[in-house]
């Protein structure tokens, strides 16, 4: 028998897949809400070792965020002088 957190993880992945295939906005929002619900409760029911692996992988993915460098740069809104 599969542990409940694996069932919730599979349900979350299926809900995300359905949200990408949905043509109506209401069904897309419901599928994303269902995926978020399954991910939160799946994480809460997972053993602590799996929770540590999930948190460390999320911290590793955060380093790969593509807009992190550009968000730290200074952006000026005033036009520059041209000669």
* Alpha carbon distance 27, 11 (integer Å): 16
Domain hosting 8: range is: 4-65
Residue 29 inside a domain? The answer is: yes
In this predicted structure, the answer to whether residue 68 has a pLDDT above a threshold of 60 is no
pTM surpassing 0.75? no
Which pLDDT score is estimated for 60? 85
Query: Rounded to 5 degrees, what are φ and ψ at 12?
Result: -65, -40
CA 22 to chain centroid: 19
How many whole angstroms separate alpha carbon 57 and alpha carbon 54? Answer: 5
Above 60 in pLDDT, residue 11? yes
Tell me, yes or no, whether 78 lies in a domain.
Answer: no
Residue 42 in domain: yes
In a domain, residue 18? The reply is yes
pLDDT at 62 over 90: no
Distance of CA 54 to the CA centre of its chain: 12
What is the number of structural domains in the chain?
1
Q: Is there a domain that residue 14 lies in?
A: yes
């Amino acid at each position: 028998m599969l542990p409940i957190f694996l069932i919730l993880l599979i349900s979350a992945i299926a809900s995300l897949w359905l949200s990408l295939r949905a043509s109506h906005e209401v069904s897309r929002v419901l599928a994303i809400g269902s995926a978020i619900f399954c991910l939160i409760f799946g994480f809460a029911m997972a053993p602590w070792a799996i929770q540590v692996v999930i948190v460390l992988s999320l911290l590793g993915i955060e380093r790969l965020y593509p807009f992190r460098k550009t968000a730290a740069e200074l952006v000026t809104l005033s036009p520059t002088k041209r000669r």
